Structure 1
Amino acid sequence: MTPVQRFQAVLFDCDGVLVDSEVITNGVLRGMLHELGWPISQAECVERFIGRALTDEFDVIEEHTGVRPDGAWLLEFRARRNAALAVDLEPIPGAVAAVEAVAAAFDGRIACASGADRAKIELQLSKIGLVGAFGEHVYSGMETPRSKPAPDVYLAAAAGLGVDPRECAVVEDTVAGVSAGVAAGATVFAYAPSSLAATPPEALRAAGAARVFTDMAELPALLGTRAPRHP
Structure 2
Amino acid sequence: MTLSHLICDCDGVLLDSESVALAAILDGLSGRMARDQLDQFLRPRLGMTMHHIAEDMARDLGLRLTPEETLHLETSVEDRCIAEAQAINGVLAALQSVHLPMAVASNSSQARVEAGLRNAGLWSLFAGRVYTPGRGLRPKPAPDLYRAACQGLSAVAATTLVLEDSVAGVTAARAAGLTVLGFVGARHGEPTAAQRLRDAGATDVFDDMTTLPARLAAWH
- TM-score bracket relative to the smaller structure: 0.7 to 0.9
Q: Deviations over 1:190-214 (max 9, x none)?
A: 1122744345222221211112112
For 1:39, give the aligned amino acid.
A
Establish whether residue 124 from structure 1 lines up as the match of residue 116 from structure 2: yes
| Residues 1:218 and 2:211 are matched in the alignment | yes
Q: 1:169 aligns with which of 151, 161, 164?
A: 161
Tell me the distance in 2 between the aligned counterparts of 1:44 and 1:65: 12
SS at match of 1:6: coil
CA displacement 1:66-111 (0-9 Å, x = unmatched) = 64431x4344324322332244221111111112222xx12xx100
CA contact (8 A) 2:54 2:70 kept: no
* Counterpart AA for 1:183: A
**RMSD of the TM alignment (CA)?**
2.3
Q: Distance in 2 between matches of 1:160 and 1:132?
A: 17
Worse-superposed segment, 134-143 or 78-87: 78-87
Q: Which moved more, 1:158-167 or 1:130-139?
A: 158-167
Q: CA deviation at 1:161?
A: 0.7
Contact 2:185 2:209 in 1 (8 A): no
Structure having greater relative contact order (Cα 8 Å, sep ≥ 6)? 2
- Alignment equivalent of 2:179, drawn from 161, 164, 187: 187
Distance of aligned partners of 1:80 and 1:57 in 2 relative to their CA distance in 1, 3 Å threshold: closer
1:44 aligns with 2:63: no
Which one of 33, 42, 62 corresponds to residue 29 of structure 2?
Answer: 33
Question: What is the 5 A alignment of 1:125-144?
Answer: 125-144=117-136
Displacement after TM superposition at 1:179 (Å): 1.5
> Bigger shift: 130-139 or 210-219?
210-219
Give 1:183 shift: 1.3
From 70, 74, 77, give the equivalent of 2:73: 77
Matched-pair contact (CA < 8 Å) for 2:82–2:112 = no
Instruction: Please list every run of 5 or more consecutive structure 1 residues that lacks an aligned counterpart in the other structure.
Output: none
d(CA) in 1 for partners of 2:97 and 2:104?
Answer: 15
Distance in 1 (alpha carbons) for counterparts of 2:119 and 2:211: 23
Q: Per the alignment, do residues 195 and 89 of structure 1 end up closer, same or farther by CA in structure 2, a change over 3 Å counting?
A: closer
Q: Identity of aligned pairs, percent?
A: 31
Runs of 5+ unmatched residues, structure 2: none
CA distances 1:147-167 after superposition (whole Å, capped 9, x unpaired): 212211111100011112222
How much has 1:143 moved relative to structure 2?
4.7
Whole-Å separation in 1 of the counterparts to 2:119 and 2:70: 22
Q: Secondary structure at the match of 1:97?
A: helix
Q: Distance in 1 between matches of 2:185 and 2:158?
A: 26
Tell me how far apart the structure 2 counterparts of residues 167 and 213 of structure 1 sit (CA, whole Å). 20
Q: CA deviation at 1:222?
A: 1.4
Q: Secondary structure at the match of 2:217?
A: coil
Paired position in structure 1 for 2:10: 14
Contact 1:114–1:140 (8 Å) recurs in 2: yes
Instruction: Please state how far the C-alpha of 1:56 moved relative to its aligned partner.
Output: 1.8
Q: Secondary structure at the match of 1:225?
A: helix
